[in-house]
Amino acid sequence: MLVAIVSDIHGNRQAFEAVLDAIEVSDCEEMWCLGDLVGYGAEPDACVELARRHAAICLAGNHDLGVRGDLPLEEFSRGAALAARWTQETITPETREYLDQLKPLNLDEKVGLYHASPRDPIWEYVLSALQAELCLDSQGHRVCLIGHSHVALSFSRFSGDAATGQTRAADEELDLGAGEWLVNPGSVGQPRDGDPRAAWLELDLDAWRAVYRRVEYDIDGAAAAIRAARLPDSLAERLAYGQ
């Protein structure tokens, strides 16, 4: 089965729609989301509705949990906390109901699905080989998908070797047929790897291969929506830089 993996949409409708359009013309049979439908961006209701319609699996990210009230907003950065409070005051009851049912991990598939990491599904940013090594030690699946860091990357470990990893560019392919893996598709709504295009991943669960994808979207429109909502201007500015 070919699956589209997305993560960290963060209320960015323009980016999410562009990715969904790309998925529609691909051979992917399902779309799975690793969480953070809301946070930072100005259109949380639209993004949750798109997930409701298109996601066969959807996890809860830390921003979703913060908006739900499950995490204290004091644990978030100033911009993230302001966006979460605005989102709490803005979303419809239907959006809140959908967010309330989500969990930060799913262990029922051929791959492990976590918002952040196998060690800490909510908060851990896996950005180093040492962190990956510890996660690979603790995960139950040979291949796991993670989000949260907003960076398209992968870590792998083969018998007798230490874990290694690197960031991944558009159209790079992974052969997941051997070894243990942590794979991050990057962020749809707020990339932080220097490429402002929305990121997603094609995952072939039969051939054990993956391909990183990027798609252009209306960054100016997403930024304008953030400013119109009177959210911090930094949240709009960073979109053009992929940081």
Q: Which of 47, 33, 26, 25 is nearest to 5 (CA)?
A: 33
**What is the span of the domain harbouring residue 113?**
2-241
Per-residue pLDDT of the chain (243 residues; tens, 9 = 90+): 999 999 999 999 999 999 999 999 999 999 999 999 999 999 999 999 999 999 999 999 999 999 999 999 999 999 999 999 999 999 999 999 999 999 999 999 999 999 999 999 999 999 999 999 999 999 999 999 999 999 999 999 999 899 999 999 999 999 999 999 999 999 999 999 999 999 999 999 999 999 999 999 999 999 999 999 999 999 999 999 999
What tokens does 31 get? 């779309």
CB 199 within 8 A of CB 191: yes
Beta-sheet strands, E only, within 133-189: 143-145, 152-157, 164-167, 173-175, 180-185
Alpha-carbon distance values, 163 to 6, 21, 114, 142, 179 (Å): 24, 35, 19, 13, 10
CB 44 within 8 A of CB 189: no
- Into how many domains does the chain fold? 1
What pLDDT is stored for residue 218 in this prediction? 98
Grouping H, G, I as helix, E, B as strand and the rest as coil, residue 183 is strand
Grouping H, G, I as helix, E, B as strand and the rest as coil, residue 140 is coil
What pLDDT is stored for residue 233 in this prediction? 95
The answer to pTM > 0.95 is yes
What pLDDT is stored for residue 103 in this prediction? 98
Pairwise CA distance, residues 77 & 92, whole Å: 24
| Burial class, 101, CB count within 10 angstroms (exposed 0-12 / middle 13-18 / buried 19+) | exposed
What pLDDT is stored for residue 61 in this prediction? 98
User: Residue 148, by phi and psi: left (phi above 0), alpha (psi -120 to 50) or beta?
Assistant: left
What φ, ψ does residue 89 adopt, rounded to 5°?
Answer: -80, -15
Residue with tokens 């598709």: 185
What pLDDT is stored for residue 182 in this prediction? 98
Angle between helices 44-54 and 78-90 (to 10 degrees): 70
CATH number of the domain residue 43 falls in: 3.60.21.10
What pLDDT is stored for residue 150 in this prediction? 98
